[in-house]
């Protein structure tokens, strides 16, 4: 019964999300339809539900699904152990999600630095002075994800008021994903202090950073198979439990309510965690190298 309730809640959430996507597409494609129809796109109760859902999504992360899954298994197995395991898995899942978000942010910043070098080279070749070209590139064509807002503001202030632009770029390069700004600082020093061509140096820097990013993308693609294999092997115990339940063996009762089952559950959980950690450690070591 509880599993049915959870499935119904998930289905309702998916349906409401689909309706929201449909309203967004209709708003984009219909032009002024929203202003012509007072009942479009939402009714008051729909707006309240959407606001409530946005609040819940902002305050509750995806890692709390571990607790929900633990509660469902606890109800099915009539034991508190899955609930405790789900609660213990919440911080671990949150840490993994934050690490994944940090990797995505690092990738976005790396792409933004490459775009900055290309845009800045184009502005310099168009006849702008380096400081003006840097301000234009940061304010306009380039994503603000080159660095954090404070570091970006420091670079803009240095470029606008004649400050230490290379120093500001080096400070911004300390953030993960913005390491390419060190090359930009070096090009700036050579070009401004010694009169060398800034545009040519920026184009070579852009090509080098793009080549490095392509190599990293190829490496991640090659390691995707190993990562997927590790995830698949980690999910095999759950598949075994489902098969045992389908065959009528009652694996949850054996694992959660008998001493041999508890011993097997503890040993299996330890071996499962060590195996996943070791496999991911091998993959991350290959990525770092």
Q: Tens digits of per-residue pLDDT, 201-242?
A: 888 998 999 998 888 888 888 888 878 888 888 888 888 888
139-188 pLDDT, tens digit per residue, is: 764 445 677 778 888 888 888 888 888 888 888 888 888 888 888 888 88
Mean pLDDT along residues 24-36: 46
Q: What is the pLDDT of residue 145?
A: 67
Question: What is the C-alpha separation between 59 and 107, in angstroms, rounded?
Answer: 25
Whether 8 has a pLDDT exceeding 70, the answer reads: no
Q: What is the pLDDT of residue 36?
A: 40
Q: What is the pLDDT of residue 193?
A: 60
Question: What is the C-alpha separation between 67 and 254, in angstroms, rounded?
Answer: 22
Question: How many Cβ atoms from other residues are within 10 Å of residue 103's Cβ?
Answer: 14
Q: What is the pLDDT of residue 289?
A: 66
Question: What is the C-alpha separation between 228 and 234, in angstroms, rounded?
Answer: 10
- Greater confidence (258 vs 280) lies with 258
Preceding peptide of 154 cis, ω within 30°: no
Q: What is the pLDDT of residue 108?
A: 87
Angle formed by the axes of helices 198-246 and 81-125, nearest 10° = 160
This prediction's pTM: 0.67
SS3 content of the chain, % helix, strand, coil (to 5): 85, 0, 15
187 token code pair: 């090009």
Q: What is the pLDDT of residue 276?
A: 82
């Amino acid at each position: 019964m509880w599993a049915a309730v959870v499935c119904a809640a998930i289905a309702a959430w998916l349906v409401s999300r689909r309706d929201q996507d449909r309203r967004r597409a209709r708003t984009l494609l219909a032009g002024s339809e929203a202003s012509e129809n007072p009942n479009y796109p939402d009714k008051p109760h729909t707006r309240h539900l959407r606001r409530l859902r946005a609040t819940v999504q902002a305050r509750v992360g995806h890692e709390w699904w571990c607790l929900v899954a633990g509660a469902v298994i606890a109800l099915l197995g009539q034991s508190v152990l899955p609930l405790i395991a789900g609660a213990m898995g919440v911080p671990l899942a949150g840490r993994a999600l934050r690490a994944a978000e940090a990797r995505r942010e690092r990738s976005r910043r790396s792409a933004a630095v490459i775009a900055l070098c290309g845009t800045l080279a184009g502005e310099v070749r168009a006849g702008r002075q380096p400081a003006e070209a840097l301000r234009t590139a940061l304010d306009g064509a380039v994503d603000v994800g080159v660095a954090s807002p404070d570091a970006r503001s420091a670079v803009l202030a240095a470029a606008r008021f004649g400050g230490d632009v290379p120093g500001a770029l080096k400070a911004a390069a300390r953030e993960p994903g913005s390491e390419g700004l060190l090359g930009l600082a070096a090009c700036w020093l050579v070009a401004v202090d010694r009169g060398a061509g800034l545009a040519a140096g920026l184009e070579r820097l852009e090509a080098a950073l793009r080549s490095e990013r392509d190599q990293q993308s190829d490496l991640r693609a090659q390691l995707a198979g190993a990562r997927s294999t590790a995830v698949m092997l980690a999910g095999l115990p759950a598949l075994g439990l489902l098969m045992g339940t389908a065959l009528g063996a009652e694996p949850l009762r054996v694992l959660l309510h008998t001493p041999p089952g508890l011993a097997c559950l503890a040993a299996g959980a330890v071996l499962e965690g060590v195996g996943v950690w070791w496999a991911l450690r091998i993959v991350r070591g290959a990525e770092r190298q």
